[in-house]
């Protein structure tokens, strides 16, 4: 990027936050072998926790958040917690992304390198999608707020990457990142990797232009997390101009209630599908389009993210857009508005 000053919407990022509902929506038929993605409502059944809970005479009618929190509050060193942790880690570690193009592939390719995705999910699909698109190079950053089974960490040198890789500094194998389990009073500073992920989230929220929340409904066990996010979002000096998009199948009133501390006036929209959000309607140009529309009264024509079955076709489709982004960053040549071709 040159020293020339540009309007904030041309340089500020689009932030995505993913919850369990995002993975369920992206993989409705499960992983490559049909293994399902759990939500809190069916977590015990899908992950296979029912036998151990029955063995310990724990009421399985409660959801995993309530069960885990109840055990932890009575005794954080209870051996059953370690067994539950091991079963959860083992289940998520086995999941493999389907071979066909997925919603996560399209999401990653719909964002620029200045944008970022933060995930609360333990499943490996987002990172697996990233890896098979890494040849594109101009991809958004990824961060994992509760740890992830596919992420490895070198705590000594503060290096993280795909589990199975080595530390770029010491050459030692990266160790599995810790998973942050569902207790009400989570200590985000207890683990260095997770603390750094949250610092990144706070920094991005304080400087972003568009925030999209996909399949995350602010559960009661994440009270501290929601408060940290809210404070960072409200510290954004353009809070009253920024846009928040919420992708959720809950009724409109419930969604508004869950996120009322984030919403400013009418600067929000609720979506049942990611297909109708800015990043998919204006592929890789969500911030540029929205800024021109609300600040300059110059809306763009849509340029929808294609839903090709062939991943290479999507990568080729976005290549001209990437070329424009590189020219803007390296030579200051502004990204052109997209206008629909005349018929």
Does 104 fall in a domain? yes
Domain for residue 263, yes or no?
Answer: yes
- Asked if 266 and 326 sit in the same domain, the reply is yes
Tell me, yes or no, whether 343 lies in a domain.
no
pTM for the model stands at 0.94
User: Which of 78, 93, 108 delimits the end of a domain?
Assistant: 93
CATH number of the CATH domain containing 283:
3.40.50.1220
Give the span between the Cα atoms of 213 and 118, in whole angstroms: 10
Same domain, 127 and 55: no
Closest to 285 measured CA to CA, from 336, 228, 327, 333: 336
Does 277 lie in the same domain as 141?
yes
Write down the H helix ranges in 16-74.
20-26, 43-47, 50-55, 64-74
* Domain annotation covers residue 155: no
Q: State the total domains in the chain.
A: 2
Cα 230 to Cα 239: distance, rounded to the nearest angstrom:
11
- C-beta separation of 223 from 182 below 8 A: no
Q: Which of 243, 236, 238 is nearest to 213 (CA)?
A: 243
Kindly give the confidence (pLDDT) of every residue in the chain, 343 residues in length, as a single tens digit, with 9 standing for 90 and above: 434 588 999 999 999 999 999 999 999 999 999 999 998 889 999 999 999 999 999 988 878 888 888 899 899 899 999 999 999 999 999 999 999 999 999 999 999 999 999 999 999 999 999 999 999 999 999 999 999 999 999 999 889 999 989 999 999 999 999 888 877 778 888 889 999 999 999 999 999 999 999 999 887 778 888 999 999 999 999 999 999 999 999 999 999 999 988 998 889 999 999 999 999 999 999 999 999 999 999 999 999 999 999 999 999 999 999 999 999 999 999 999 987 655 4
- Hey, CA dihedral for 230, 236, 239, 243, is it positive or negative? negative
Which residues, listed in sequence order, are joined to residue 271 by a DSSP beta bridge? 247
The reply to whether 278 and 294 lie within a common domain is yes
On whether both 123 and 227 belong to a single domain, the answer is yes
**One domain for residues 84 and 201:** no
Same-domain pairing of 134 and 61: no
């Amino acid at each position: 990027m040159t020293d020339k000053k540009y309007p904030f919407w041309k340089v500020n990022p689009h932030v995505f936050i993913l919850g369990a509902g995002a993975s369920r929506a992206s993989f409705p038929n499960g992983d490559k072998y049909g293994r399902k993605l759990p939500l809190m409502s069916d977590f015990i059944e899908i992950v296979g926790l029912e036998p151990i809970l029955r063995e310990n005479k724990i009421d399985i009618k409660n959801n995993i958040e309530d069960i885990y929190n109840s055990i932890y509050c009575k005794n954080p060193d209870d051996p059953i917690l370690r067994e539950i942790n091991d079963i959860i880690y083992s289940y998520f570690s086995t999941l493999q992304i389907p071979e066909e193009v997925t919603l996560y592939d399209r999401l990653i390719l719909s964002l620029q390198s200045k944008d970022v995705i933060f995930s609360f999910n333990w499943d490996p699909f987002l990172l697996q999608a990233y890896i098979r698109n890494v040849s594109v190079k101009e991809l958004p950053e990824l961060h994992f707020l509760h740890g992830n089974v596919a992420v490895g960490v070198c705590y000594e040198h503060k290096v993280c990457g795909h589990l199975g890789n080595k530390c770029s500094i010491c050459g030692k194998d990266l160790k599995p990142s810790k998973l942050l389990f569902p207790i009400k009073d989570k200590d985000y500073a207890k683990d260095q990797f997770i603390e750094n992920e949250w610092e990144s989230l706070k920094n991005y929220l304080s400087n972003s232009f568009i925030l999209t929340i996909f399949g995350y409904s602010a559960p009661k066990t994440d009270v501290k997390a929601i408060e940290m996010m809210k404070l960072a979002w409200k510290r954004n000096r353009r809070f009253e101009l920024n846009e928040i998009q919420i992708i959720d199948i809950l009724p409109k009133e419930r969604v508004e209630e869950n996120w009322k501390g984030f919403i400013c006036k009418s600067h929000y929209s609720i979506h049942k599908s990611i297909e109708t959000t800015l990043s998919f309607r204006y592929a890789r140009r969500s911030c540029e389009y929205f800024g021109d529309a609300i600040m300059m009264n110059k809306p763009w024509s849509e340029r929808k993210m294609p839903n090709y079955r062939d991943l290479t076709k999507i990568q080729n489709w976005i290549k001209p857009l990437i070329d424009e982004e590189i020219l803007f960053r390296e030579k200051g040549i502004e990204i052109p508005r997209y206008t629909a071709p005349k018929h």
